[in-house]
Structure 1
């Protein structure tokens, strides 16, 4: 499994609910990275490395993921994830930030804009969607998930979310990280993601928005990215070549290039 860079500062804070682990490095305007379902903060290591010379970069493990805690009696939801991140920004004295979310993380970024619009300087929505057009697939996924181990599920996920040509080390990393995610929080987050619907919010978004999508993404394909672009005012859509659903890991150079252009264009 690939490791985060040694320059990343591994920190934690204690709230009444959970301990949330996160990376925090660099200085300047704040850029917060939000990982997807079954992922962790380390998946943003190339962005933490590549952008921390110019911006303060923060990447948390969502509750029930990575090294962050969770309480079984408390529901996992997109709203809970968003509240955790805003709680973290307040504890760190951050009043406004750019939010970059991938996959489920993109929905969390939309939820943050919905509930805390004044704290959002811009949005970067990567390999994500405002809704899932085929809710029937959720029942199929749940039946499949409940019928196998998390390791087996993770192996299927890596096959679906990465290009066939992806490095073996990256494929194994995704398998290991997802397999280590507790089944309960994962299952709840899967349900929350499929039930998320932010279509009505898109025309209201009034901050600069960059949409990124892997050219070979089959999980949230081009059509869903174009839907975001069409319905968010002045949104810019960029394709990441040689990448599928994990474009920040599969082609970090191109991903970072578009991020930097977006952030510098706001200067």
Structure 2
């Protein structure tokens, strides 16, 4: 049985999070259909130097409900800031994956003096491309109809989250084999009670607002990273965000997909640590 994570209550609902390490605070925001444990390799690498807080967003992981008044990713960003208030944390760096990167960007726009560095992995803060909207909507309609994530659907989603050659690469890579199996199992074990909150969060993530024009005003150190062998995000999107955020750094990760931080953990960790070490925040 997994350990129950700490939580704070927001609008009568518990928002759970991992809290490990000490030092300057790094907040991890996962994307749709993942949870805080996707950052395990990063937390292990950073927690000796940083206090790592990885959130389970509404409908994900142990945060199995969602407040009635949570209607968009801006609300989610406010809730993360409320969590930080409850923990008496003022200064942070934020690392966001997928839709978690959009939440991270909303946090920066809301509280620019609190966020001192931003990493966005396989994220895009513009409108979600129609092809992705259709793909995700199809998945979510299936989940809504069946009130579960079937083994077949979990397999299809897992294939999209890892690199296009992950199945072949995993034959000589036991950690990758285990990571693929763990993600599939996580999807298959989503409880019936969290289906409705998950679907609500998914709708918010799929139809998020376009903040691309707003991020042009960002002045904080930013690292934009993307897996070059993924199904869901493109290098073109990373170029667009890199061009929009003045002074940002761009990291392209080969032989990696949407979960590049898992597939190429050592490489991603190295670049993140080097990036954070250049940022002066306490």
Asked if the contact 1:131/1:198 (under 8 Å) is kept, the reply is yes
Distance 2:139 2:276 in 1: 40
Distance 1:186 1:54, change over 3 A: same
Residue 223 of structure 2 is aligned to residue 210 of structure 1? yes
Asked if the contact 2:10/2:79 (under 8 Å) is kept, the reply is no
SS in structure 2 at match of 1:220: coil
Asked if the contact 1:213/1:240 (under 8 Å) is kept, the reply is yes
2:48 to 4, 28, 53: 53
Distance 1:203 1:71 in 2: 31
Which residue in 2 is equivalent to 1:226?
Answer: 239
Distance 1:193 1:71 in 2: 14
Distance 2:228 2:129 in 1: 21
Which residue in 2 is equivalent to 1:157?
Answer: 157
Residue 185 of structure 2 is aligned to residue 173 of structure 1? no
Q: 1:1-267 residue pairs with structure 2 within 5 A?
A: 10-71=5-66, 73-132=68-127, 134-135=129-130, 137-147=132-142, 149=146, 150-151=149-150, 152-163=152-163, 164=166, 165-166=169-170, 167-179=176-188, 180=190, 182-196=194-208, 197-267=210-280
Q: For structure 1, which segment, 57-66 or 180-189, has the greater mean C-alpha deviation from structure 2 after superposition? A: 180-189
TM-score using structure 2 length: 0.85
Distance 1:240 1:137, change over 3 A: closer
Distance 2:71 2:181 in 1: 26
SS in structure 2 at match of 1:172: helix
Distance 2:93 2:21 in 1: 14
SS in structure 1 at match of 2:107: helix
Distance 2:119 2:279 in 1: 13
Q: Offset at 1:133?
A: 5.3
Distance 2:207 2:21 in 1: 36
SS in structure 2 at match of 1:204: coil
Distance 1:84 1:109 in 2: 12
SS in structure 2 at match of 1:211: strand
SS in structure 1 at match of 2:119: strand
Q: Offset at 1:254?
A: 0.6
Residue deviations 1:128-174, cap 9 Å, x none?
Answer: 11124533642453244323542333221111111223433212222
Asked if the contact 1:142/1:187 (under 8 Å) is kept, the reply is no
Q: For structure 1, which segment, 46-55 or 184-193, has the greater mean C-alpha deviation from structure 2 after superposition? A: 184-193
Asked if the contact 1:17/1:71 (under 8 Å) is kept, the reply is no
Asked if the contact 1:34/1:102 (under 8 Å) is kept, the reply is yes
